[in-house]
Amino acid sequence: MTSVRLHIAGPVAELRLDNAAKLNCFTVEMLGQLSSHLEVIEARPEVRAVIVIGEGDRAFCSGADINAWGGLSPAEFARNWVRGGHRIFDRLARLSKPSIAALNGHAFGGGLELAAACDIRLITPKATIALPEAGVGIVPGWSGSQRLVRLIPEGMVKEMALFGRRIGAERLLACGFVAEIAEDVRATAQEIAQKAAALSPRATEITKAMIHAGQGEDSAALIEALGSAAIAASDDRQEGVTAFQGKRKPEFPGT
């Protein structure tokens, strides 16, 4: 049975794609499970960092299972599969906790887009990335043509998407797409996650949002979130709540 498994150990949550027989490619069920797990992680304040990894040692994720979308109508494909997956990956990108993609093997198509939605990436020496969508008559649909070009050079994205080439670990390290090449990416990811867990969770959350806003990622939501946080700490907010509960006219102190 294919699945995305969630394991929480202390301050670190691990999301593991388990469809090893098909190189951990995404099914409809796995997308739904990923979405549900992200909601759980967001609601658990004790979770301070997240690791995303694939089962086995052949692939991190080979993309989307063609059998999952091949029979969909054009409307279903665009509305449900593409837009639905995009929303879930956006949820991962905007998670308040820092996330690490541990590329224990190849990351193709949707798998590469999943890795791009994480904050940093680690990779094994022999793993490669690719955007093979044009080979089956489709285009990147889960942010491959958008978020990815903010992380690696445009020419490299075109090299994969337009020419069908794979990019190896050394080039990815050189351009900054991956933070480290490691034989045991899970162990390295755990070490990095534990260090992140020791930092101020509020500071890392706000810093992550500020960095994203600087890159045009969800800047409108950040403005409202920071404004709401500022007003929540004010005496005016407390007076407004107290007056409403006491059924009287508020007298705002302006502080």
Distance in angstroms (rounded) separating the CA atoms of residues 191 and 118: 16
For residues 42 and 92, what is the distance between their CA atoms, to the nearest angstrom?
10
Residues annotated as catalytic (active site), given as ranges: 113, 133
Contacts of 71 (CB under 8 A, 6+ apart): none
Instruction: Assess contact for 66 and 109: CB atoms under 8 A.
Output: no
DSSP-derived letter for residue 178 is S
Place of tokens 């020791």: 198
Residues in the chain, how many? 255
Question: Are 102 and 119 contacting, i.e. CB atoms less than 8 angstroms apart?
Answer: no
Q: Give the separation between CA 201 and CA 199, rounded to whole angstroms.
A: 6
How far apart are alpha carbons 186 and 190 in whole angstroms?
6
Residue type, 112: L
Q: Which two tokens stand for residue 178?
A: 């991956």
- 182: helix, strand or coil: coil
Q: What residues have CB less than 8 Å from 182, skipping those under 6 apart?
A: 122, 123, 124, 188
